[in-house]
Structure 1
Amino acid sequence: MSYDDVEIEDMQWNEELRAYTYPCPCGDLFQITKEELKLGEEIARCPSCSLYITVIYNAEDFADNKSKNNLEPPKRQAIAVA
């Protein structure tokens, strides 16, 4: 049984981990990658303990297609201030 059910919208995109994350009670982060979501995976695991959560998401949002999905936040551009 999973620790909790969490909507993908409540998770944060972590650029360093290249994964969606959600705080775990142990202090680490539950993690699931876009590749796992594309494969239909719905379990995000914590690398530091045995807990896991069920991720609620629309599989069509992660299906392989020619257009890039909008679930990843846009990249920010650096601006020079003079």
Structure 2
Amino acid sequence: MADNIYDEIEIEDMTYDPTLQIYHYPCPCGDRFEISIDDLRDGEEIAVCPSCSLMIRVIFEVEELPKPEGGSAVQTAATQVVAA
């Protein structure tokens, strides 16, 4: 698997999308490498490009990741269903 690693990227060099809960980084193919915040919290360190076979290793510390927001959106949606 190490042969398929295109590069090692510091998480600070990646872009975080709080809406989708993913980090992404440009891929040479024109798409982008992606890895979810949940995968990172679970110890996964390989971001994949959905358009080609390249992968990158993400260098990060779990304790430095954004904190979970507590699922307030899920609670709000459930409250709305019960109220309706």
Q: How does the TM-score come out when normalised to structure 2?
A: 0.69
Cα offset for 1:18?
Answer: 2.6
Q: CA RMSD in A?
A: 1.9
2:32 to 13, 29, 34: 29
- C-alpha separation in 2, matches of 1:47 and 1:15: 20
The structure richer in helix per residue is 2
Match of 1:8 in 2: 11
- C-alpha separation in 2, matches of 1:5 and 1:21: 13
Give the paired residue count.
65
Could you tell me which amino acid in structure 1 is paired with residue 61 of structure 2? Answer: N
4+ residue runs over 4 A deviation: none
Alignment gaps of 5+ in structure 1: 63-67, 70-82
Alignment gaps of 5+ in structure 2: 68-84
Secondary structure of 2:64 counterpart: helix
Which of structures 1 and 2 has the bigger CA Rg?
A: 2
Match of 1:39 in 2: 42
The structure richer in strand per residue is 2
- C-alpha separation in 2, matches of 1:54 and 1:24: 13
Map Cα deviations across residues 12-33 of structure 1 (whole Å, 9 max, x no partner): 0124543100000000000011
- C-alpha separation in 1, matches of 2:28 and 2:37: 23
Q: How does the TM-score come out when normalised to structure 1?
A: 0.70
